[in-house]
Amino acid sequence: MISSFPLKNRLILFLMMLLSTILLGSLGYVIIKVFVEHKNTTFTDAIYFSIATISTLGHYPAGIGLESEIGKWFTILYLIFGLGVIFGGIQALLGPWIEMKVKSAVHERKLPIPEDAHIIITGYNDIGKVIRDELEIIGIPFVIVDEKPPQDVPAVEGKPTEMENLQKANIERAKALIAVGDNETNAVTILTARRLNGKLNIIALAQNGGVEDILYKCGANKVISKDKVISAVLSHWIKGDFVHHLSGEIFKDTAIEEYRVDAKLNGKSIMESRIKEKKGTIIAIYRGSRLIVNPAPQFILKEGDVLILFKGGA
């Protein structure tokens, strides 16, 4: 609660307290000087006494200090009280001031939003965080659009469903958009994104069953159903089959890779290409949308084929 109190108000409060402390001291000084010590005094002397005391100057010119017993006790108490006000005030001011400085320093270092061929992540939750960490490691530029984005990555603060915010994320030149928010937000985000960029590769998360179709209709290129993926992983574990034995690798995406056949390999057979020795075992080939599993060594490769390679091991 205290730290949410604005710095300006704190400053005003401090100055008011300081002023009243000085006036209070002066009043006490005048009363003691006149009615206890029966001496004359001036307004300037009274103020001088107050400031000299609370600022711990520790020295009074002749005639200004209080010499009576009551006067000395008053000086002691007033000194302690004054110090409390000053040190308390400084502490209450300095904390927020430093905080403000640090915040503005961080704000100034706000990271630029990538210009093109980047990935837009809408929604920042646990899944968004996994994706963010991975993209950071591989070094693919990305921007997060969320109402509460993290501070240390390129981000647009605001609802991803709004055109303005997606435009701020340079959606026209982005390569892909990953929508991992809740179902409604994802649906509207995809609709908006599709209108702004027809070629964008949109991958969306369906938080539960039944919304996959809706997200495809909105314009997603690929919808991943959370329930389905987790359910599949679980049932492979229950069955104890080989998918699960290899799932360590499967879910790390390290052991299975794709490789596009270039002009150099066009017309060569798998045996001649020596891909097995150089890259890994070809377990399947995509030719267009057709999948060929376990191709024979005599299989002739064509430019544009996508090989599914199983890597690593012996």
Partner 1 sequence: MIICGYNGITRNLRGTFVDENVPEGENFIRGNPAEEKTLIRAGIKKEDTLIIALENDERSIFVTLLAKKLNPNIKTGAVVRKRESVGKIYKAGADYVVLESEIVGKEILRYLLAPRVAAFMGRIVLSEDLQLLGLQLPRKYVDKRIKDTDIRRRIGTIIAIKRGDKIIKNPKPTTILQKGDVLIFLLQGKEINKIREIMGQWILRRD
**Under rule CB under 8 A, residue 253 binds partner 1:** yes
Q: How many CA atoms lie within 13 A of 239 on its CB side?
A: 12
CB-based contact 19:112 (threshold 8 Å): no
Q: How far is the CB of 168 from partner 1 (least distance, A)?
A: 22
φ, ψ for residue 58, nearest 5 deg = 80, 15
| Residue 42 interacts with partner 1 (CB under 8 A): yes or no | no
Q: Which of 39, 38, 23, 37 is nearest to 72 (CA)?
A: 37
Strand ordering across the sheet containing 155-157: 155-157, 142-146, 119-122, 176-179, 201-206, 222-225
| One residue of 129, 194, 268, 302 binding partner 1 per CB under 8 A | 129
Does residue number 302 form part of the binding site for partner 1 (CB under 8 A)? Answer: no
Q: Pick from 44, 104, 235, 266: which binds partner 1 (CB under 8 A)?
A: 235
Q: Is 214 in the site for partner 1 (CB under 8 A)?
A: no
Per CB under 8 A, does 36 bind partner 1? no
37 binds partner 1 (CB under 8 A): no
Helix axes 43-54, 7-31, angle to 10 degrees: 120
Taking the C-alpha atoms of residue 29 and residue 226, their distance in angstroms, rounded to an integer, is 77
- The string of DSSP codes covering 196-256 is H-TT-EEEEEESSTT-HHHHHHHT-SEEEEHHHHHHHHHHHHHHT-HHHHTHHHHTTTSSE
Q: Which is nearer to partner 1, 25 or 160 (CB)?
A: 160
Q: Which stretch binds partner 1 (CB under 8 A): 29-37, 153-161, 189-197, 275-283?
A: 275-283
Nearer to partner 1, 80 or 130 (CB): 130
Write phi, then psi, for 202 (nearest 5 degrees): -105, 120
Residue 172 CA to residue 116 CA, distance in Å, equals 8
Tell me, residue by residue from 61 to 100, as one string, x for binding to partner 1 by CB under 8 A and - for no binding: ----------------------------------------
Q: Which is nearer to partner 1, 68 or 221 (CB)?
A: 221
Q: Can you give the binding site for partner 1, defined by CB under 8 A?
A: 119, 125-131, 134-135, 138, 176, 178, 180, 201, 203, 205, 208-209, 222, 224, 226-243, 245-246, 249-253, 255-258, 280-284, 286, 291, 293-294, 296-297, 306, 308, 310-314
